[in-house]
Amino acid sequence: TDGHLLMSGFNSNGNLGSNSTKYYGFDSPFQHAGSWSQVVLGGEHTMAIRTDGTLWTWGRNSYGQLGQGNITDYSSPVQIPGSWNQIATNTYSSFAMKTDNTLWAWGDNSSGNLGTGNYTDYSSPVQIPGTWQKLFQSNALIGGVSAGAIRPDGTLWVWGSNKYGNLGTNNTTYYNSPVQLPGSWAQVAFSGPGSGGVKSDGTGWTWGASVMSGYVPVTNSSPVQVAGSWVQINGGEGGSGIKKE
């Protein structure tokens, strides 16, 4: 709560930002200078926003996921120009929203997961057209790479991998540009093969693979309502959780 950022653990690509590839144990975390407001972790890279709105990245950069215009790993924080207020990442891709509500993406784009209308990797931020309000964490797990964001009018837009219907578009088509899901939404979460969301009326919905039997999932490619009234949703590796009022 005092704005200090401390990190420990895996660091072979400099993803702790400690200016080295030395490992830090849980008993001796590395503390970053400055005051920070947000941090998200990719596969082997990190993104964080300072309290002054500046965006910094570090760690592995094999797909340009650090947004520096190259594929060089950095073991210390490097800045991406602009003023930012939201960040999200998956294994090899990065997303961020500026304070003017423009949405930007960079890194791996093999599943169309950057929403840029193509499958080209980008080592510098590329804008996703439109004005946005909320950006949500995306995951590269069993179901591939999916992403989503909500516009100021409450519409939910999704893109990327859709192998198990995890975009909720009533099909398994991959989309490299944002496509809209019907309704007005407050939150969404992606958890590998399955996804979920809470609409602005408090109803909870899930879609994608719900049960994995070997490699054969039981799939709903369109949102299915979960009984009850809900206020929050979050996803993890192979599962989701939603919070009742």
Looking at residues 83-100, what average pLDDT do you find? 93
Of the listed ranges 87-91, 157-161, 182-186, the least confidently predicted one is: 87-91
Characterize 114-146 residue by residue with b for buried, 16 or more Cβ atoms within 10 angstroms of its Cβ, and e for exposed: bbbeeeebbbebbebeeebebbbbbbbbbbbbb
pLDDT of residue 204: 92
Q: State the pLDDT at residue 145.
A: 78
Mean pLDDT, rounded, of the chain = 88
The sign of the torsion formed by the CA atoms of 61, 63, 68, 69 equals: positive
Indicate the range of 68-72, 180-184, 212-216, 234-238 predicted with least confidence. 212-216
pLDDT at 143: 40
Q: Write the CB contacts of 123 (distance below 8 Å, at least 6 apart in sequence).
A: 61, 63, 64, 66, 67, 68, 69, 70, 71, 106, 107
Residue 120 has pLDDT above 80, yes or no: yes
Average pLDDT over residues 24-29: 77
Give the angle subtended at the CA of 34 by the CAs of 30 and 40, to the nearest 5°: 65
d(Cα 135, Cα 97) in Å, to the nearest integer? Answer: 7
Does pLDDT of 139 surpass 60? no
Question: Mean pLDDT over residues 38-48, rounded?
Answer: 92
Question: Tokens for 220?
Answer: 């709903």
Q: 3-state SS of the chain: helix, strand, coil percent to 5?
A: 0, 50, 50
- Token pair listed for 226: 């979960």
What is the pLDDT, as a whole number, of residue 141?
A: 41
Instruction: Please write the tens of the pLDDT for every residue from 189-211.
Output: 887 678 889 999 999 998 988 65
Label residue 121 by pLDDT band (50, 70, 90).
very high
